[in-house]
Amino acid sequence: MIRFSQVTKRYPNGHEALKQVSLFIDRQEMVFLIGHSGAGKSTLLKLITRVERSTRGQLIVNERNLTRLPRRQVPYLRREIGVVFQDHKLLNDRTVFDNVALPLVVAGVGHRDTSRRVRAALDKVGLLGKERLFPITLSGGEQQRVGIARAVVNRPPILLADEPTGNLDAELSDEIMDLFGQFNQYGVTVLVATHDRRHIARLGKRVMELSDGSLIQGAEEG
Amino acid sequence: MTAYLTRHLQVLLASIGQMARNPGATVMTAAAIGVTLALPTLLYLITDNLERASAGFDKGAPVTLFLRKDLDKAGAQALARRLAQRPEVTASRFIDADAALAEFKQRSGLAAALDMLEGNPLPHSVVLDLSADEHTDFASRMLEELEADPDVSLAQSDLQWMRRLRAIVSLAQRGALLLAILLAVAVVVIISNTIRLAIVNRRDEIVIIKLIGGTDAFVRRPFLYSGFLQGLVGAVVAWVLIAGCLYLLGGPVDELSRLYGTEFRLVGLPLRDALLVLLCGGLLGWVASRWAVGRHLSRIEPR
């Protein structure tokens, strides 16, 4: 599903965030990406969504070769990847419903379908009944769940999360992580970047570890 | 196709909603665009009316011949009859010096001053209507010829006047065109600036939409609609301003035209031209937002 071959990312300021990283994540797999801050976790996720481009090496995501992906194809790549951000990235001037509906609106899904799927997504994260509220009135954990509902509402085959529990207490973090586990059971390929090793022990999934831009553990399964 | 139209309709309604939520900003922008569009349109209307007015005068720019002072009445009448025979002359009117003085006294209100004069300072005169008078070359040739007549001391026509007026009108028309071009640029700058501000204000939203797979066209669409609507609303304001100006000018113009004894009336913006103004407004708005979006939107990318 996701394959990196000798991928290097060097930023314009000369900093080499990723050094010759090769990895493979299979369809329907769930993987944790760990490493100290500045190890390159965020850069790795940004390469998958083509927010950043690799300097060298080859990247294949859901059978798309990102090194040769034309600019106008980028939106369609991103529709196949749900992303959960640490800072939620919600629109505070729109209701929970409108926030979650945004990927469907962007993709041109019809009105009735949109309504049905937004409710289903909110139901899954336990926020049904709050669709008319504004994100700012929700707690941090609830806002993060709105973000998750938005990430999965158009049923993407890949789900990425960048420190999704960074600002949450242990109990809420566990709830969120369990949600990712559930989506993985439904067949979604999940990649979660975190620095919280507690979840890894709890869920027992493969772990990839980055250190100073190099992958030092878990490049391939087994 | 239906889905496509629905999406566009949604964006259009959303843009209208956005304008309605910021009435202050919307009104200010619309007023600025309205004034900017109204100026050249008004100038065009004025020159257009002037041109029509002068065309009206043109039809019978008569030639007035002031005869030699020592020519007696019988001689003058004979000359008038002789000139009336000429094929170029459609009508000839003899004006007696005494009658002219009486009329002048009555019209000028200088009766007392004129009474102090010894005798009548005015000569006999003849007024000729020329055929084919719209042909100015012919008319001016006639004028020279008549002036050469030994019995005529001065031949005068409104012709020179008409020519000057027409030159002024065509200058003003050229000016209106130049002004229109300059102000169209101003409209584009005004609208593209408000669109630029809107883009900056909605930076986070744009980033998020791009992150979840919004195409450039999707991101662009609301700004294009908003620019188009601003231009359109501005054009409506311009229309209202023009109608107001014409209403205020109508009375004085009627009065002036009555004093000159003409049938001239101020003509407003015909529906076709009014729709053209609306179309121009909308089009300028669209072009402006397209320009702003092209310059600013591509710089906003997720980081």
Asked whether residue B129 carries a pLDDT value surpassing 60, the answer given is: yes
For residues B168 and B116, the model is more confident at B168
Distance separating alpha carbons of residues B230 and B136, to the nearest angstrom: 48
- Chain B positions touching A76 (Cβ under 8 A) are 213
Shared domain for A139 and A160, answered yes or no, is no
pLDDT computed for residue A221 by the predictor: 65
CA nearest B301 in A: which residue? A51
| Inter-chain CB proximity B3 and A77 less than 8 Å | no
pLDDT computed for residue A75 by the predictor: 95
Query: CB of B216 within 8 A of CB of B297?
Result: yes
Asked whether residue B207 carries a pLDDT value surpassing 90, the answer given is: yes
Distance separating alpha carbons of residues A35 and A208, to the nearest angstrom: 8
pLDDT computed for residue B90 by the predictor: 76
Q: How confident is the model at residue B119 (pLDDT cuts 50, 70, 90)?
A: confident
- Chain A positions touching B303 (Cβ under 8 A) are 51
Residue of B208, B212, B301 to mutate, testing the A interface (most A Cβ within 10 Å of its Cβ): B212
| Inter-chain CB proximity B302 and A51 less than 8 Å | yes
Shared domain for A56 and A165, answered yes or no, is yes
Shared domain for A151 and A171, answered yes or no, is no
Distance separating alpha carbons of residues B63 and B57, to the nearest angstrom: 13
High-pLDDT (> 90) share of chain B, %: 25
- H helices of chain A, in order, are 41-48, 74-79, 96-107, 111-124, 140-152, 170-185, 197-203
pLDDT computed for residue A148 by the predictor: 94
Asked whether residue B124 carries a pLDDT value surpassing 80, the answer given is: yes
Instruction: Give the closest of B209, B215, B303 to A51, CB-based.
Output: B303
Shared domain for A95 and A75, answered yes or no, is no
Instruction: Give the closest of B208, B214, B303 to A91, CB-based.
Output: B208
Region B51-63: mean pLDDT is 67
Q: How confident is the model at residue B211 (pLDDT cuts 50, 70, 90)?
A: very high
pLDDT computed for residue B234 by the predictor: 93
The Cα of A61 is separated from the nearest Cα of chain B by a number of Å equal to 15
Asked whether residue B132 carries a pLDDT value surpassing 60, the answer given is: no
CATH number for the region B62-157 comes to 3.30.70.3040
pLDDT computed for residue B56 by the predictor: 60
Q: How confident is the model at residue B186 (pLDDT cuts 50, 70, 90)?
A: very high
A214 forms bridges with which residues in the sheet? Answer: A211
A to B CB pairs, distance under 8 Å:
50
Shared domain for A3 and A70, answered yes or no, is yes
Region B110-118: mean pLDDT is 76
Inter-CA distances, A13 with A9, A17, B19, B69, B193, Å: 11, 11, 42, 99, 33
Shared domain for A161 and A75, answered yes or no, is yes
Shared domain for A170 and A70, answered yes or no, is yes
Q: At what angle do helices B271-296 and B159-201 cross, to 10 degrees?
A: 40
Distance separating alpha carbons of residues A65 and B193, to the nearest angstrom: 39
Instruction: Give the closest of B207, B212, B303 to A106, CB-based.
Output: B212
Q: How confident is the model at residue B138 (pLDDT cuts 50, 70, 90)?
A: low
DSSP run (H or E) holding A5 = strand A2-10
DSSP calls for A191-209 = EEE-S-HHHHHHH--EEEE
Q: Choose the final residue of a domain: A131, A155, A179.
A: A155
**Chain mean position to CA A37:** 17
pLDDT computed for residue A193 by the predictor: 93
CA nearest A52 in B: which residue? B303
- A86 found inside a domain: no
Shared domain for A5 and A109, answered yes or no, is no
Tens-place pLDDT, residues A110-158: 888 999 999 999 999 999 999 999 999 999 889 999 999 999 999 999 9
- Chain A positions touching B210 (Cβ under 8 A) are 75, 78
- Chain A positions touching B302 (Cβ under 8 A) are 49, 51
- Chain A positions touching B14 (Cβ under 8 A) are none
| Inter-chain CB proximity B211 and A51 less than 8 Å | yes
Query: CB of B223 within 8 A of CB of B198?
Result: yes
* Total of domains in chain A: 2
| Inter-chain CB proximity A103 and B213 less than 8 Å | yes
- Chain B positions touching A48 (Cβ under 8 A) are none
Q: Please give the structure tokens belonging to residue B177.
A: 């065109």
> Domain map of chain B by residue range?
2-57+163-299, 62-157
pLDDT computed for residue A160 by the predictor: 96
Distance separating alpha carbons of residues B70 and B77, to the nearest angstrom: 14
The Cα of B22 is separated from the nearest Cα of chain A by a number of Å equal to 14
- A102 found inside a domain: yes
Q: Please give the structure tokens belonging to residue B157.
A: 């026509």
Tens-place pLDDT, residues B212-229: 999 999 999 999 999 999
Count of C-beta atoms within a 10 Å radius of residue B3: 11
Q: Choose the final residue of a domain: A134, A155, A176.
A: A155
A217 forms bridges with which residues in the sheet? Answer: A209
Query: B211 in contact with A at a CB cutoff of 8 Å?
Result: yes
CATH number of the domain where residue A76 is located: 3.40.50.300
pLDDT computed for residue B60 by the predictor: 57
- Among A178-182, B135-139, B176-180, B194-198, which stretch is predicted with the lowest mean pLDDT? B135-139
For residues B74 and A76, the model is more confident at A76
Query: B214 in contact with A at a CB cutoff of 8 Å?
Result: yes
Count of C-beta atoms within a 10 Å radius of residue A45: 22
Q: How confident is the model at residue B43 (pLDDT cuts 50, 70, 90)?
A: confident
Positive or negative: CA dihedral B190, B191, B196, B198: positive
Shared domain for A28 and A55, answered yes or no, is yes
Distance separating alpha carbons of residues B26 and B22, to the nearest angstrom: 6
Angle at B296 between CA B293 and CA B297, to 5 degrees: 65
Among A127, A77, A118, CA closest to A100: A118
Residue A63: helix, strand or coil by DSSP? coil
CA nearest A43 in B: which residue? B303
Shared domain for A163 and A216, answered yes or no, is yes
| Inter-chain CB proximity A79 and B6 less than 8 Å | no
Shared domain for A127 and A214, answered yes or no, is no
First to last CA, chain B: 35
Domain, as residue range, for A131: 91-155
First to last CA, chain A: 17
Distance separating alpha carbons of residues B303 and B299, to the nearest angstrom: 11
Between strands A158-162 and A189-193, the pairing is: parallel
Region B65-79: mean pLDDT is 80
Query: CB of B204 within 8 A of CB of A91?
Result: yes
| Inter-chain CB proximity A89 and B211 less than 8 Å | yes
- Chain B positions touching A61 (Cβ under 8 A) are none
Residue of A71, A72, A78 to mutate, testing the B interface (most B Cβ within 10 Å of its Cβ): A78
Among B281, B47, B43, B277, CA closest to B179: B43
Residues of chain A with pLDDT under 70: 221-222
Shared domain for A126 and A194, answered yes or no, is no
Burial degree of A10 (CB within 10 A; 0-12, 13-18, 19+)? middle
Tens-place pLDDT, residues B230-287: 999 999 999 999 999 988 988 888 888 788 777 777 777 888 888 999 999 999 999 9
CA nearest A100 in B: which residue? B212
pLDDT computed for residue B5 by the predictor: 80
Match 């919600």 to its residue by tokens: A90
The Cα of B26 is separated from the nearest Cα of chain A by a number of Å equal to 20
Region B16-38: mean pLDDT is 87
B113 contact partners, CB below 8 Å, separation of at least 6: none
Angle at B167 between CA B166 and CA B170, to 5 degrees: 85
- Chain A positions touching B218 (Cβ under 8 A) are 75, 106
The Cα of A133 is separated from the nearest Cα of chain B by a number of Å equal to 18
